[in-house]
Amino acid sequence: MADHVVIVGGGQAAAQAAASLRSEGHAGAITIIGEEIHPPYQRPPLSKKYLSGELAEDRLFIKPPEFYEASGIGLKLGVTATAIDRSGKRVATPKGDVAYDRLILATGSHVRRLNLKGSSLANVFYLRSIADVDLIRPHFEKGKHLVIIGAGYIGLEVAAVAATRGLKVSVVEIASRCLARVTSPVISSFFDGVHRKAGVHFHYDARLEIFEGHDRVEDVLVNGEKLNADFVIAGIGILPSDHLARDAGLTVENGIVVDEFGRTSDPDIYAAGDCTVHFNPFAGRKVRLESVQNAIDQAKIVAAAITGKPKSYAEVPWFWSDQYDLKLQTAGLFSPTDQVVLRGDPATAKFAAFYLRDGVLAAVDAINAAPEFMMGKLLIAKGARLDPARLADPAIPMKNVAT
Ligand SMILES: Cc1cc2nc3c(=O)[nH]c(=O)nc-3n(C[C@H](O)[C@H](O)[C@H](O)COP(=O)(O)OP(=O)(O)OC[C@H]3O[C@@H](n4cnc5c(N)ncnc54)[C@H](O)[C@@H]3O)c2cc1C
């Protein structure tokens, strides 16, 4: 009889792994165990069009619910896997054990929480799931003051939706600029300007001291200054959900360590998506990626390996963010020591920042500039050595910059 593949986690990677197992010809049973009550859904719209109310819940689903039944994929939703018995090849859940031949861990990540006086008060929110947004949305009323903790992608996307809806928005950030962890000062400064123009207030180098209030936060104390708040949303990063793997004795280093085939330190257990750490040839080091691209591509690699057609994972990392009418598309992984080459003028809101490492293209941030993103991604994959002057010259079409 063909193997039973059990997938723990009901998100982007789980849905892709199940679908790819079937399309690669896996004939045995497939079971997804997911702790959320929804079938696998896309998270990116949660801080964009689902938060703004422009997208209905059923548009978030990665596959229509009928797909799973039609494809013979069992969905155990609202069920948390609590332990893995590797010698008995069983996953424990409160609803009974599930036996597996191969196991895929696609447990994703969970939000980092604030640990300050008052941070557990009722109007302090996080944004990771449909359930989180459903709690937040009723507070999105014109004129209310939203304090956002963290000026990363999630914080800025929420700020854009809130400012567009007429809320007063303050963003509190521990670093000296927005998006400091992921991009260059020129891109940070561009987004800072866009948000300020929309009325968003930034508090950088912020020492967040305390949330004051009785049953709800009324004031946020930042650098000794009191910010009156109607509600707070924290977007201060995520942590890999790797505890099942760690408890089962798999190798875990700030994420479940996988090889280029998505295999963990147990040959019958694979992992994909946010919960993993892998050696990335483009970064030249082990990385943990938090992106749809990685969840999908790693899940495909895992399905290929399980169905006996192993392929190495060697995709250029890419990501996007939507804020106002701007689309930021990023390929590769920026490093602070990279040489920054600008193409186009930030004042036009259509430009790109390219990052050269020892003359070789390592990453690109493209704003409303799809050709720069697409060509940039290809050139990163090729390890192209580029002349900064040609790259910066908008008169030379992107397809010719490398020649
Ligand atoms: C608000 C938001 C906006 C984003 N925007 C973008 C974007 O614009 N572009 C982009 O590329 N990426 C974006 N991302 C990141 C992207 O959504 C994630 O990288 C992607 O969802 C990762 O997929 P995953 O399957 O690894 O994990 P997840 O989607 O997190 O799914 C993991 C699932 O496993 C479940 N689970 C965990 N432990 C257990 C257990 N023990 N038992 C059962 N189930 C379990 C979790 O509840 C969850 O449902 C965004 C993320 C968020 C939250």
Q: Where are the domains of the chain?
A: 5-110+239-306, 124-234, 325-400
pLDDT mean over 310-324? 96
Of 48, 133, 274, the one to substitute when testing ligand 1's pocket (max ligand atoms within 8 A of C-beta) is 274
Q: What CATH number belongs to 5-110+239-306?
A: 3.50.50.60
Equal CATH topology for 124-234 and 325-400? no
Q: Is the pTM of this model over 0.95?
A: yes
Q: Which residue has the tokens 């020649």?
A: 403
| 32-78 pLDDT per residue, tens | 999 999 999 999 999 999 999 999 999 999 999 999 999 999 999 99
What angle (nearest 5°) sits at the alpha carbon of residue 357, between those of residues 352 and 362?
50
| 164-180 pLDDT per residue, tens | 999 999 999 999 999 99
pLDDT class of 29 with cuts at 50, 70, 90: very high
In whole angstroms, what is the distance from residue 233 CA to residue 128 CA? 11
Q: What is the mean pLDDT of the chain?
A: 96
pLDDT of residue 152: 98
Of 43, 75, 236, 294, the one to substitute when testing ligand 1's pocket (max ligand atoms within 8 A of C-beta) is 43
Give strand ranges (E) for 283-395: 285-287, 318-323, 326-332, 339-343, 351-357, 360-367
Domain 325-400 has CATH 3.30.390.30: yes
| 325-346 pLDDT per residue, tens | 999 999 999 999 999 999 999 9
**Ligand 1 atom at minimum distance from 275 CA:** 26
Asked if residue 288 lies in contact with residue 254, where contact means CB atoms within 8 angstroms, the answer is yes
pLDDT of residue 194: 98
Asked if residue 158 lies in contact with residue 234, where contact means CB atoms within 8 angstroms, the answer is no
Q: For 124-234, which CATH superfamily applies?
A: FAD/NAD(P)-binding domain (3.50.50.60)
Check pLDDT > 70 for residue 1: no
In whole angstroms, what is the distance from residue 200 CA to residue 160 CA? 8
